[in-house]
Structure 1
C-alpha cells in the first residue's frame, strides 16, 4: 500500500484570485518557497509554512490544503 501527498495551495490561490506573489507577501514566506510548495517540488514541507498559509487564507480544515491519496489501484 502506498500513498502520495497532494498539496492544493494552487487551488486555493485560484479560488481567491490570488497570485503566488500575493501569498508570499501575506505570509512573509519567500516567493521561491511558495513556488516550490505550489509546484510540489518540495520533498519536505515545513508545518509552520502550512500553518501560515492556512492562517492568511482563513482555512481551518487542513484537507483544503493537503490531501493524502492511496496509490493502490484496487
Structure 2
C-alpha cells in the first residue's frame, strides 16, 4: 500500500485563525519554512512536531492522506 500525503498547513492555520508570524513565534520554526510548507515535498522532522504542538493538532492533521492506486498490482 502506498500513501500520498498532501500538506495542508495553511488550511489548518486558517481554521484556527493563525498567521504565519504567530505560528513561527509559537513553534520556533522560521516563517520562511512555514510560508513554503504546502509547496514542499520534504519537511524537517522537528518542524512537523513543533508546528503540530504549537497548533494543538496531531502531525497527521497537517496533511491530507490518501491511499494511492497501485500501478504495478499483480
> Looking at CA atoms only, which structure, 1 or 2, has the larger radius of gyration?
2
Q: Which runs of 5+ in 2 are unaligned?
A: 70-74
1:56 equivalent in structure 2: 54
2:14, 2:39 → 1: CA distance? 19
Equivalent residue pairs, number: 69
Over aligned residues, Cα RMSD in angstroms?
A: 1.8
Compute the displacement of 1:62 (Å).
2.9
SS at match of 2:39: coil
Query: How far apart are residue 65 of structure 1 and its match?
Result: 1.2
1:54 Cα deviation from its structure 2 partner: 0.7
Residues of 2 paired with 1:63 and 1:13: CA distance?
14
Instruction: With the length of structure 1 as denominator, give the TM-score of the two structures.
Output: 0.75
Of the structure 1 ranges 23-32 and 63-72, higher mean CA displacement relative to structure 2 is found in 63-72
Alignment correspondent of 1:68: 65
* Structure 1 runs, 4 residues or longer, greater than 6 Å off: none
Aligned partners of 1:29 and 1:68: how far apart in 2? Answer: 23
